Structure 1
């Protein structure tokens, strides 16, 4: 499970920002899961976090940063070349940022309950630093300490990593040692590499929909998966009773959804006649169920962009419900929809600690912070307070302001002409 993610100098995330799934000590949570660590201690960990904020406030950049870290781990050894430099997207509004390093760090727990911290700093052409720490008995063990400014760049305190000399000799200055080790299927370090490979799955509802539709369609051919897919279609109240699926050799299975009608017999509609919302929900179901089955960390940017709020709320329920999310899957999503902060009949679908907000300062840099920092009252309506600007992270636009500015600009243009 992912515990924390830290990042700096990536797009609008200029200064170090942290996204945490861990419930702060002293706070109680009904949504969190108890994660037992290898030293016998336990942590309360949220199954999902939602990032809210105004347009261009940096919400999506948090998702991008998570993806960039994964891409670096998976591709630095095979894809980064010395003549092209290290691919980065540093903060663009301050010229000094080009010369500063880009920072990534992730805390996570593997299946055996051991907590790990892995991170690195990337310069324009070299890996400035890289580190790996383990906490098998609660105390930190330093496995790797890399510093490009030292004569002895790689240090392995405790000599815990096998083949240290070979790894140090064959890791290029512009590649991560973790990527290099995984290339040779290193017995110890490949486990860390595999965590990144098997997590941080990216889904953007408005893109790659055709591919995700095809994946969900193929899942319908499996009886167990089919039952769950049809149930999710029915729960979303689309008037759908089931689905027909036809296997076609070498092609995507042909799907027709069965809709209720005035007669007793359901009506099968051609796929192209289904609504955009129905197709978007169908395309999302396959990846959602796969993440739940694998216990993976799923990233969804703009969850509400092509989904009705009811569908978006259903996604949250899947990850929140312990009887459904039995493998410890996690979700990070961004959204504009304040309706996700309030249930239709009142109550809070998300706790304050699960709600993270983004706001830009005068220099264009994003600040990321949990709503719990604002200490809302236990009975406070989070949606109303958020829309009123009590927590920040909303557009600073007064009612009618945009219209007045448009009319003023038109009047000025008329005077000039």
Structure 2
């Protein structure tokens, strides 16, 4: 999947429609004449802005877009309302639908897909493709009324009749086995990866790593190589077989044992109760076995020393939690979305990630990276992964609380300009407005008394 554009409206601090474009300014037609979509798009999009300006809202909107596609026809059926998050500082927006749309290339075909919804129902949904320079309607939805294009075969009306008002038609048709819509669904879901990067997700990131090692989707050699790239003193990652449990996980428990209160089962253990005695026993899952046996060989004073995964620093786990999905996206193609890429990472490691996507010697699939950051060094000519104007975006929150999104390419620029300095000087906006006069009232008792008076 190659992302051309993402549009969002009425989502959190984004009240009016905002568009993030990864299309190079040189492309002025509906498709490149040489059909080279990789050459016509940027590989990265970095979003800057002051704290609480709406940078994370852009990433969250992409996350919500994907979650709606995945969950609207499954887990959302158990909810009373759709988890819409409209702009709350305007009564009109608070009661209006939210809109999300992507312009993407799947395989060699360009598609436009989007939907509008409120907490009660999906109000609009559409899917177009571009077999030529003009778009072709595959389906359009207005509430529960559907219009289908002739090219959409596979009994779409049968799938539409089974679609509830809080379900996306794309998702329902996929779950009911529609071939084309199922393929579009899979490309959007698998091709859009959201990397949760907040500290509260540290446990989840660790579990994902150990799960991947346990099921074979993550190669220990890749983990070792990525840690060696970061040069943090780890020479090897391995499984210590002597540390695994003696429990035979391939054997079925005795018939006297049965699952115990599934609602209270923790994510990483399996609890059983004996029917006659009432005693309980705990079985570790494969994830816990792998985690317990995972060792990191660290360089020490005299040779290497093994340390468990729990002994690794937050920075080490943060690097792995970002570098591993980045490696997967680079190999398979798609879009990786990272909120605060510089969190817990040294700036040089952020540059390594950018270089992996921007350098065609590494990026053979046209994979893309969308990220938010405060790291202005990436705007400096001294950076070996410097962001170009069309790769640089800003968010700014206005006095009415609404966020606007705009690109550095909207401004007159020259290659010899110091974009980092100009940004920090406020030439492009999107920098904090500080009121330093209030500091005196915090630190000077007399000033506080004057302020109170």
Give the TM-score, by structure 2 length.
Answer: 0.80
Partner of residue 255, structure 2: none
Does the Cα contact within 8 Å between 1:127 and 1:174 map onto a contact in 2? yes
Partner of residue 209, structure 1: 202
Partner of residue 241, structure 1: 235
Does the Cα contact within 8 Å between 1:219 and 1:286 map onto a contact in 2? no
Structure 2: how far apart are the matches of 1:189 and 1:410?
A: 68
Note the alpha carbon deviations across 1:298-348, whole angstroms, 9 max, x for none. 1111111211112211111121222222222211111122122226x4566
Partner of residue 258, structure 1: 297
Partner of residue 288, structure 1: 326
Does the Cα contact within 8 Å between 1:213 and 1:282 map onto a contact in 2? no
Within 5 Å, which residues of 2 pair with 1:367-406?
367-397=404-434, 400-401=436-437, 403-406=439-442
Partner of residue 137, structure 1: 132
Give the TM-score, by structure 1 length.
Answer: 0.87
Partner of residue 124, structure 1: 119
More displaced 10-residue stretch of structure 1: 328-337 or 227-236: 227-236
Structure 2: how far apart are the matches of 1:78 and 1:346?
A: 45
| Residue 53 (structure 1) aligned with residue 49 (structure 2) | yes
Deviation, structure 1 residue 236: 1.9
Does the Cα contact within 8 Å between 1:301 and 1:333 map onto a contact in 2? yes
Deviation, structure 1 residue 82: 9.3
The verdict on how the C-alpha distance between 1:46 and 1:143 changes in structure 2, with shifts beyond 3 A counting, is: same
The verdict on how the C-alpha distance between 1:137 and 1:278 changes in structure 2, with shifts beyond 3 A counting, is: same
Q: Where do 5+ consecutive residues of structure 1 fail to align?
A: 28-34
Higher Cα Rg: structure 1 or 2?
A: 2
Residue 230 of structure 1: which of 224, 227, 231 is its match? 224
Does the Cα contact within 8 Å between 2:170 and 2:185 map onto a contact in 1? yes
The verdict on how the C-alpha distance between 1:273 and 1:410 changes in structure 2, with shifts beyond 3 A counting, is: farther
CA RMSD of the aligned region, Å?
2.9
Partner of residue 373, structure 2: 335
Deviation, structure 1 residue 217: 4.9
1:232 is paired with a residue whose SS is helix
The verdict on how the C-alpha distance between 1:339 and 1:236 changes in structure 2, with shifts beyond 3 A counting, is: same
The verdict on how the C-alpha distance between 1:351 and 1:159 changes in structure 2, with shifts beyond 3 A counting, is: closer
- How many residues end up aligned between the 2 structures? 402
The verdict on how the C-alpha distance between 1:327 and 1:14 changes in structure 2, with shifts beyond 3 A counting, is: same
Deviation, structure 1 residue 96: 1.0
Does the Cα contact within 8 Å between 1:301 and 1:334 map onto a contact in 2? yes
Does the Cα contact within 8 Å between 2:213 and 2:290 map onto a contact in 1? no
